[in-house]
Amino acid sequence: MNPSMPAWRVLIVDDHPIVRTGLAALIDAEADMTVCGQAEDFDGALAAMAELRPDVALVDLSLRGASGLELVKEAGRHGIPTIVVSMHEAPTWAQRSLAAGARGYVQKSEAGRTVVNAIRRVRARRIYLGDAMAQALLERRHGHHHDEAGVHVEALSDREIEVLTRIGNGLTTQQIAAELAISVKTVQTFRERIKRKLDLGSAAELSSMATRWVLERAD
C-alpha cells in the first residue's frame, strides 16, 4: 500500500446483520480500507450510495425489494464499482454479475481474506475472481461444461433464476414472495414464465427440474 493513498471507503450491502458485522471487522482491520456505511436492502443501498459516495460497494445478490444484480447495474450508472459477495457457487451467477458490471465475485464460503484481496484488486482497476470460479467460467466459455439444463436456464432473466433457485431449495410460493419482498401473484407469474421458457408442463416438473439444477451446482 502507498502510504500517501487514502483508505478506500467501502459500503456493505447484505440483508444479514451478522454477515455485515463480519465483513466490517475484516475490512476495518486493514490500513488501506474502511467501512463507510452499511445497508440491508435495495432502497437503503441506493440512499447510502447517494449520501456516502463509497469507493466500492460489496453487494449480496439476495436482497429484499430487488435483485442484487439490479443494484450492481444502478451502482455502475453512478460510477461506483461493485464486488458481489454471494452464497451462490454456480458459474451462472458470477457470469451474470460480471455482465451486470460487477468488478469482482466472491463466494461467501471462501470470504475472509478473499474479500480484502478482491477490494485491493478492484482498487488496482482489475477484476477479481477466485481460482475455482475463474476456471469454471473458462471451461464454460470453451464448451467443456456440457449441461443441457444449464443451457436452457441461460434463457431466464436474473429474477427468474432467483425464483428458480428458491424453488429448487424447496421454498413455497409464499416463502419466495416473502424473501424477495414481492407479491404471491408476481411469484406465480414468474413460475409460469419459467415453465414456458423451459418447456415444462406442470408445477411438479418445474419443482423436479429446479431441485435437480440446484443439486447439480452444489456438487
Render 43-67 in DSSP notation, one character per residue: HHHHHHHHHH--SEEEE-S--BSS-
Burial of 179 (0-12, 13-18, 19+ CB in 10 A): middle
Task: Express each pLDDT in 61-86 by its tens digit.
Answer: 888 777 788 899 999 999 999 999 98
Candidates 69, 54, 81; CA nearest to 161 is 69
Q: How far, in Å, CA of 55 to CA of 111, rounded?
A: 20
Query: Domain coordinates of the chain in residue numbers?
Result: 8-140, 148-216
Q: Is 79 exposed, middle or buried (0-12, 13-18, 19+ CB in 10 A)?
A: exposed
Q: Which of 33-37, 63-67, 91-95 has the lowest mean pLDDT?
A: 63-67
pTM of this prediction?
0.73
Q: Reply yes or no on domain 8-140 having CATH 3.40.50.2300.
A: yes
CA 162 to chain centre: 10
- In this prediction, residue 93 carries a pLDDT of 82
Architecture of domain 148-216: Orthogonal Bundle (1.10)
- d(C-alpha 103, C-alpha 154), whole Å: 21
